[in-house]
């Protein structure tokens, strides 16, 4: 069907080429199963690997795959969606890098034109696509773990992207690459 084909096309752009997607509908004919949402239920089925059978999405996907399926669904939904909603993505970068990370960043930025998008990422290509950047750090304080969130200005953002690119030691090459990533977005 058209919806499944559209999802498969979105997933192909997100490093899930050849993924098969299907929505299976079932009617609850017993009146005891009827709800205010209706009598039909739907379940997403997915085959992320060639030669594998379609299986229930909720039972087979990794965190990264699930985030990319959600990104594909939200991208399609945003075409007709209403502004003013917040979309949250965590681990959308799991198992990807390079070109695919740039595609994911572009899709998130496009969603950001119509929605507030919160994305937790470890990839500089995705982080550079955002309009606002926060550094989130966990640390132990006494006997508790505390999470700090710090807004980054333009210079701090460039330095953080360089750290993400270079590791713990920030290099001139990392700073230059960070500048290029920010200019490209």
Q: Tell me the mean pLDDT in the region 9-16.
A: 83
Q: How open is the CA angle 98-100-101, to the nearest 5 degrees?
A: 65
Q: Are strands 134-141 and 144-151 parallel, antiparallel or unpaired?
A: antiparallel
Is the pLDDT confidence value at 167 over 90?
no
Listed in sequence order, the DSSP H helices in 29-123 are: 57-60, 63-78, 98-112
Q: Are strands 55-56 and 116-120 parallel, antiparallel or unpaired?
A: unpaired
Least confident piece of the model among 25-29, 121-125, 128-132, 164-168: 25-29
> Are 85 and 116 contacting, i.e. CB atoms less than 8 angstroms apart?
yes
Q: What is the pLDDT of residues 15-36, one digit of tens each?
A: 788 889 998 888 777 777 777 7
Quote the pLDDT of residue 71: 84
DSSP-derived secondary structure letter, 35: B
Q: Tell me the mean pLDDT in the region 38-65.
A: 84
Quote the percentage of the chain above a pLDDT of 90.
37
């Amino acid at each position: 069907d058209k919806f499944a084909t559209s999802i498969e096309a979105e997933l192909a752009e997100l490093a899930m080429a050849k993924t098969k997607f299907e929505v299976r509908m079932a009617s609850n004919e017993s009146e005891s199963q009827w709800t205010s949402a209706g009598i039909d239920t739907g379940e997403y089925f997915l085959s992320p690997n060639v030669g594998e059978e379609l299986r229930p999405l909720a039972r087979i996907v990794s965190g990264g795959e699930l985030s990319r399926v959600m990104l594909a669904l939200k991208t399609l939904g945003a075409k007709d969606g209403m502004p003013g909603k917040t979309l949250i993505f965590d681990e959308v970068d799991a198992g990807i890098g390079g070109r695919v990370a740039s595609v994911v960043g572009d899709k998130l930025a496009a969603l950001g034109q119509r929605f507030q998008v919160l994305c937790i990422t470890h990839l500089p290509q995705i982080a550079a696509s955002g309009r606002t950047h926060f550094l989130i750090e966990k640390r132990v304080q006494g006997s508790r773990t505390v999470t700090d969130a710090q807004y980054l200005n333009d210079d701090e953002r460039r330095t953080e992207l360089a750290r993400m690119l270079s590791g713990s030691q920030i290099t001139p090459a990392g700073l230059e690459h960070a500048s290029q990533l920010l200019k490209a977005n």
